[in-house]
Each structure stands twice: as C-alpha cells, then as structure tokens.
Structure 1
C-alpha cells in the first residue's frame, strides 16, 4: 500500500521538524535566494518552504496537489508573511510563465510518472536565468548500508522487498541530467550531500516517528505487524545508543534556464 497524500490521517506526516542548518548552508552555496521569488513544488507540510524564507527569499510559494498537506503547511508557516501556498499538480502547476527565480523540489520526482514533464513545467515557470534545484535519492543513495546514522538502510535489511519498490520508483542520476538538458537547461551539475534529518534524544521519540511512518513514504508499504517487526529490528541494531542523529544521503541536480 502506497501513502495516500490526500488522507487526513497523513496530514502530520511531513511536519514536526525544521530544515537542518546543513541543508540551509548547502542551498546557500548553490544559489543566493535573497530578494528572489522561490517556488517549492511538492512542498508537503512546508518544512523547506520555510527554509527558503529563512535563507532570505523575498517570496516563497509552496505548491502541492494535496489540500490536506497545504492546510497543514499554512498552519505551520503562518508566522512567515512572505510565504504562500498554491494547489496544483507538479507537472501542471497553473502558475504564470516566468514567475519564479528559483524552483525547488525535494523528495518529489520519485513519486512522478514523468520526470520530463515535470522539468518542462519547471522550465515554463522559471524566468530566464532562473535555477532549477532538484533534491532526491538515486539507488546509490538508497543502497547505503544501515548504520546508527543511516537508519533507512535498516529498513531494507529487514525487508528486502522495500528495496525492490525503490528500484521501480527511483530515478537515475543520468535520467534527471538528461531531462534537464533536453528541456534547455545549461550549467547542469550534480552533487551528493548528507542531510541531518532529525535528532532524537530518546528511543521513544524515534519509535513514535517510525510507528507513525512520519516523513517516510516507504514505510507505508508495510502493514502494521511488519512495522512493529521493523521497529524491534531497528531498536536491536541501535543497541541503546543515544542520542540518535539520523542522516540521509541525497543527490542534488541543478540547472539554469537559458
């Protein structure tokens, strides 16, 4: 069973944390957003929409196809006057052509049927000279073994079929590069980064996140009994180590509109 982004019971799946300082630093090294218009497509609960505002963007608009997610995002960013939200499909946002200086998409493209269609829409809404930044995982990122930092690797160790699911949905590095180049982007570059996902001071905090499947769409492929087995497996692997600083490895693609 895949995650239903429209279900009210999943409205809190993509909240409860802030963009890590390491992520903020990495984005600031790629592009200076100060005074820019940023579009965050597939914004979920608005964690990274708020992150772009923190980096100094003049206006940030989060776009998502789930009204449930957008309601949560609005609640969580109500303190940020420069942030707004818009309902729209990632490949047909309904936004005006050339309205953005930066378009960002994190953990989105592996959910899409067509990377090419998405990149074409990004190209349409970007102003000339604007930058597209895509953050997602390839199979090289996903396949990093489990460790006390990379908890995600334990999911695949416990349930190898989850890795088969990932193989079907994860884009390759070259696939996304080609999509950007075919859409007319230049200065196309890729890089890898480790991002701190969350710090847990107690096992109870992590256990709660795992049980709720918070921010982990892959765990929706497990039934409740399997999830309990996974939680026990991760607890055994951690061996009582605290605190837990969970990290994920990501690939970053970026390109400039001509």
Structure 2
C-alpha cells in the first residue's frame, strides 16, 4: 500500500490547511524573514507553506515538487499568489540556478528517502552565501508520543504497532542529520522542537471525516479501509470532547546556514 503521490485523485490532499501561527512564529525566530527576498519550497506539496512564506513578506517563492499531480493541486491552491511560481523537480535535482535563494524550506520531505547527503548537496548548491536552510521533519521520538485529545497521531501507532516499524525505517536520527549538514558544508546548525497546530476542528465529527479521507496523512495509506474504520472508531471513543479539537504534531526543525 502507501500513497501514490503521482495519482490525480491525490492532487488536492495537501491543500486543505493553512500554516498555523505556531509555525510562522517559530520560523521568524530562526530566520530574519524581513531580509528574505527569494525563497524556495522543495517538496512543496499543496503549497500551504509557499503561501505562508508569501504572506510573511517574501518577494518571490519558487515551489518545487516531484509530482506533477501534486503541483497541479498546488497551482490551484496558490492561484491568487502571483509571486509564487512552480517547477517540477526533486530534492536531488531541482533544476534551479546555483547560489540563487536566501531561504530553502524542506518540510515533511526527508523521511521519504535515505540519501540525505545528495539532498543536502543540492540544497547547498542553490542557496546563496549566508543563505538559510530549514528542514522540518519528525524523528522517531516525535512520532511515537502518546495519543491524546491533541496528539491524534499517537493513536495510530498504539492501535497498529506495525506502523512503528514503518516509521523506524523512514525517520532520520537527528545527530545523523546534523553530521550530514556539516559534511556538505553547512554551518551554524541549530535544532529546535515545535508543537505545531495542524488544524483546529469545530467538532469531533469534522476530525473523523478528515481521518476517513486520509487527508494529508500519508501514514494512513498504510491501512486498508477496514483498519481505517477501526482507527476512526478508536479515536471516536478515546477523545474526551465532541466539540472543538486542536490537533498538534511535534516536529524537529534543523536550521543551517551556507
């Protein structure tokens, strides 16, 4: 199983949210955003964070993804943003000019591949001198926190332990990330943790619908329909409130400078 990022039916799965202020405030602390004129969002998905960078005042944002279908959804999502452009490319071969961006963002990307070194080499190539590289992903420790009224993701692994093996195989150890960044030439590396608000749901019913559609959650594509229904029933019984639910995920962010 697993999500097919190239399928037309999934082109809008990563377009349904907006970047939360918790993310915006954290990025502003890490990067002098007022001095950023050109940014690139590699693995842009539905363009949620490309829009956020534009809203924060970045003059030009280039959004890159390896899926034409996902890019189609991002273009639609960002159609009112004239300063956001799109390019088909990968983290290993963006096709972008060297030394051309003040800021490179790769959010929820590096767990999709093993080859950190070549990814980071391409990042080093396209970022300009003293440019910033922001990587946001989950470590295994971030993923496996206990499920509760806010950390919905924790229920996935409590109910289906086999998903732990999936995460164990694809999540990178923070020290390896830091060492590889240094190896390719990055400096001033900093690691921070972020509890990012994923979405605020008006009701539990809205959350359960989101889970049922697997919206923006690639891990749920590892479950078949029967298992997904078991999960939804479990979450329904586990949550203490039927009213507003604030879903949060814990992330690790690495900042590096060229």
Q: TM range, normalised to the smaller chain?
A: over 0.9
Q: How far, CA to CA, are the matches of 1:25 and 1:82 in structure 2?
A: 22
- What is the aligned-residue RMSD (CA, Å)? 0.9
Structure 2 match to 1:169: 170
Could you tell me which runs of 5 or more consecutive residues in structure 2 were left unpaired when the two chains were aligned.
none
Q: How far, CA to CA, are the matches of 1:118 and 1:235 in structure 2?
A: 40
Moved more, 217-226 or 33-42: 33-42
Partner SS, residue 33 of structure 2: coil
Residue correspondence of structure 1 range 29-44 to structure 2 within 5 A: 29-34=29-34, 35-44=36-45
Q: How far, CA to CA, are the matches of 1:149 and 1:6 in structure 2?
A: 31
Q: How far, CA to CA, are the matches of 2:206 and 2:9 in structure 1?
A: 19
Moved more, 179-188 or 235-244: 235-244
1:62 paired with 2:63, answer yes
Q: How far, CA to CA, are the matches of 1:22 and 1:49 in structure 2?
A: 16
Shift of 1:137: 0.2
Could you tell me which runs of 5 or more consecutive residues in structure 1 were left unpaired when the two chains were aligned.
none
**Residues 196 and 250 in structure 2, CA contact (< 8 A), matched pair in contact too:** yes
Structure 2 match to 1:178: 179
TM-score w.r.t. structure 2 length?
A: 0.98
Q: Once the two structures are superposed, what CA deviation does each residue of 1:73-125 show, in whole Å capped at 9, x if it has no partner?
A: 11111111111111001111111111111000100000023111111100000
Residue correspondence of structure 1 range 47-86 to structure 2 within 5 A: 47-86=48-87
Structure 2 match to 1:131: 132
Shift of 1:239: 3.5
Structure 1 match to 2:224: 223
Q: How far, CA to CA, are the matches of 1:138 and 1:193 in structure 2?
A: 12
| Aligned pairs, number | 257
Structure 1 match to 2:196: 195
Q: How far, CA to CA, are the matches of 1:95 and 1:250 in structure 2?
A: 28
**Residues 149 and 240 in structure 2, CA contact (< 8 A), matched pair in contact too:** no
Shift of 1:179: 1.2
Q: How far, CA to CA, are the matches of 1:112 and 1:74 in structure 2?
A: 25
Structure 2 match to 1:15: 15
TM-score w.r.t. structure 1 length?
A: 0.98
Partner SS, residue 247 of structure 2: strand
